[in-house]
Structure 1
């Protein structure tokens, strides 16, 4: 019982931080599970996905109620992301834990550097129509799905900045499309990890419950802070996680 409460509290904290940075908690939970609980990389990613999938379902439902997602743009992203997330997950479960952790550290550093550069860039122009529809949306879906399957972070964290900076969508449209992309890719990744016994359900389920209870708190705090400050905090957190994970390799 004490362990269940401990995991639930961890889920509450991860859900709040995930809501703060708009990433569902998975990218935060994976380093924490590896550093504090000693899980190997694949098991940490699979367990974190138990929390991520219901968070994505809830966020997508609430988003679609307010801002309808265009099916013609979402469909190529969803289909390609689903297929390539499965391939990325199969690749991930076949790698040794050390290589996976090194790859994840590199992913965190690249992501933090990209977001840090965006802090000092001028805001991307928003176009009335998407600049690059099919087949480029399919290419983005494939790349995002592969990263999501390989590192267990859904792919939305990859897709959103590209949709705004390259495809010319607004932040609102990008987040909606990214959530649509993330739902099938996170689901198939979780199933693949589970079939290869890389999920700790006893830890993941209470974390998921805690995350659902707290993700809205993080969102409220995020709206009270400037986007520039949020991005700097996010970059700093990712670099710290990368440094701590490097020590665990």
Structure 2
């Protein structure tokens, strides 16, 4: 790898780390289309390489969110366990799929999720809180669905978990983003191992991305806690649409 490529990877990691901290997703949603567009990686290789950055980013962001917004252990543990099991099974299936169809399916999912979240901005719902409106064992269902999504696409589990937690479980955006990180950590780790075992990881590119992400993710977490709830939700919707557009243009 040339010094220029190394510098580009570090700068991209800095950007993605900030975005991952801001939205509680680890940065992989931007990394995947960026790796495809800028470096010409196919879908599976882009997903596997992005996970090299996402796993340590999620770990650090989870700790930062817990410091500012205490995460309930039993909620996080149930999400994590269900997400881990389903992510592992889905990742075994994903590595054998056609890359182009995976990318198209992910674009459709992101657009649908963005439209749903945007509609929620104009509907007055119950006041968000740290307490769940649904019995906490239902988090296992959410964890399983989000984990399967993350295992299939490399990322995306946290993107599904955040709106479900705010809408159906009644949590605030910040609480939802913290819990989504707890869900994402084991599922992204097992997905990375599966992709690496099938040769879908470029470590020389992924490691500099990870270093850049670790240096900047704290900035995104601090920014998330300084923004109004409604603005943070609106930025999250816009972020989903940008990611969908980048993937569609890849």
Q: Is TM-score (shorter-chain normalized) higher than 0.5?
A: yes
Offset, 1:7: 0.7
Offset, 1:54: 0.6
Gap change, CA 1:125 and 1:227, over 3 Å in 2: closer
Offset, 1:239: 2.6
Partner of 2:132: 130
Partner of 2:194: 192
Cα distance in 2 between the residues matched to 1:232 and 1:169: 16
Cα distance in 2 between the residues matched to 1:109 and 1:83: 27
Cα distance in 2 between the residues matched to 1:228 and 1:127: 14
- 1:118 paired with 2:84, answer no
Partner of 2:32: 30
Report how many residues are paired.
248
CA contact (8 A) 1:73 1:133 kept: no
- 1:17 paired with 2:19, answer yes
Partner of 1:101: 103
Gap change, CA 1:16 and 1:64, over 3 Å in 2: closer
Q: Where do 1:1-249 residues align within 5 Å?
A: 1-126=3-128, 129-133=131-135, 135-153=137-155, 155-223=157-225, 225-248=227-250
CA contact (8 A) 1:81 1:185 kept: yes
Offset, 1:84: 0.2
Gap change, CA 1:17 and 1:66, over 3 Å in 2: closer
Offset, 1:213: 1.0
CA contact (8 A) 1:154 1:186 kept: no
Offset, 1:36: 1.7
Normalising by the residue count of structure 2, what TM-score does the alignment of the two structures yield?
Answer: 0.88
Please say which of residues 24-33 and 127-136 is displaced more in the overlay: 127-136
Cα distance in 1 between the residues matched to 2:130 and 2:113: 28
Over the aligned positions, Cα root-mean-square deviation in angstroms equals 2.2
Normalising by the residue count of structure 1, what TM-score does the alignment of the two structures yield?
Answer: 0.89
Gaps of 5+ in 1: none
Gap change, CA 1:214 and 1:71, over 3 Å in 2: closer
Cα distance in 2 between the residues matched to 1:237 and 1:45: 18
